[in-house]
Amino acid sequence: MALVPCQVLRVAILLSYCSILCNYKAIEMPSHQTYGGSWKFLTFIDLVIQAVFFGICVLTDLSSLLTRGSGNQEQERQLKKLISLRDWMLAVLAFPVGVFVVAVFWIIYAYDREMIYPKLLDNFIPGWLNHGMHTTVLPFILIEMRTSHHAYPSRSSGLAAICTFSVGYILWVCWVHHITGMWVYPFLEHIGPGARIIFFGSTTILMNFLYLLGEVLNSYIWDTQRSMEEEKEKPKLE
């Protein structure tokens, strides 16, 4: 019975991301019409990652319900592949990228919002949509981590994957600047080449740190859960 609330929760989160993406894409902003469109923004890429991840979670839940008790080995093999993909996506993309977007956005916003989210955008993006893109990502991914155990890949392969993603996005941002002459994020216009290199290097290190944080948090949550269950199962002394 414990599986049903998790299924409903995942479906609700998936639908919320679909709604956020649809509303965001419906907004006619000048930046959407320039080279790279929405795909030059890490926030949009993260929304797609989260939507795909929770889509895989829902698909895994449905497959688990259909496979349970069937005894079909092929279906069980396919389910294990889905679970492995779900766990890999949470470890390498959904958690580190999601937490990075929330943390970096609000830190820079608190310092000077014009550097990351100019006030002009308030004319296009309503407040609830901004929070849907930059706030609720964090509680959603923490809820998923708390409700289901996820097997992390080997640390070396996980770090290699998140490094590849980070460097790939940095190169994409640089390419957009090369083509258009403008940086994706306003604050990059106001710092020199050396500072940009330091910033890009720091973001890659932060992504690696967030991957490790997710690994530690996942282990802590489920080791604690396991310990509590073992305590409950111990026979009480008279």
Question: What DSSP line would sit under 49-109, residue for residue?
Answer: HHHHHHHHHHHHHHHHHHHTTT--HHHHHHHHHHHHHHHHHIIIIIHHHHHHHHHHHHHHH
The CA distance from 208 to 222, in Å, is: 22
Would you state the structure tokens that stand for residue 113, as one six-digit string? 């919002």
Residue range 212-216: mean pLDDT, rounded = 95
Residue range 228-236: mean pLDDT, rounded = 57
Do the domain assignments include residue 21?
yes
Question: Residue 119 belongs to what domain range?
Answer: 6-233
Name the 3-class secondary structure at 35. coil
Closest of 23, 161, 27, 173 to residue 89, by C-alpha = 161
Q: Is the pLDDT of residue 19 over 70?
A: yes
pLDDT at 1: 42
Closest of 96, 139, 149 to residue 9, by C-alpha = 139
Band the pLDDT of 70: cuts 50, 70, 90: low
Q: Is the pLDDT of residue 69 over 70?
A: no
Residue range 50-56: mean pLDDT, rounded = 96
Q: Is the pLDDT of residue 93 over 90?
A: yes
Do the domain assignments include residue 1?
no
Q: Is the pLDDT of residue 72 over 70?
A: yes
Do the domain assignments include residue 86?
yes
Q: Write down the pTM of the prediction.
A: 0.89
Total tally of structural domains belonging to the chain:
1
Q: What is the Cα 134 distance to its own chain's centre? A: 11
Residue range 47-63: mean pLDDT, rounded = 95
Q: Is the pLDDT of residue 60 over 80?
A: yes
Do the domain assignments include residue 116?
yes
Residue range 104-130: mean pLDDT, rounded = 90
Q: Is the pLDDT of residue 151 over 70?
A: yes
The CA distance from 56 to 148, in Å, is: 13
Closest of 208, 199, 202, 201 to residue 162, by C-alpha = 208
Do the domain assignments include residue 173?
yes
Residue range 133-162: mean pLDDT, rounded = 93
Do the domain assignments include residue 78?
yes
Residue range 12-41: mean pLDDT, rounded = 90
Q: Which residue has the tokens 């106001």?
A: 190
Average pLDDT, the chain: 88
Q: Is the pLDDT of residue 101 over 90?
A: yes
Do the domain assignments include residue 238?
no
Band the pLDDT of 229: cuts 50, 70, 90: low
The CA distance from 139 to 12, in Å, is: 13
Q: Is the pLDDT of residue 112 over 80?
A: yes
* 153-206 residue pLDDT tens: 999 999 999 999 999 999 999 999 999 999 998 889 888 999 999 999 999 999
CB neighbour class for 208 (10 Å; exposed up to 12, middle 13-18, buried from 19) = middle
Q: Which residue has the tokens 């859960």?
A: 225
Band the pLDDT of 148: cuts 50, 70, 90: confident
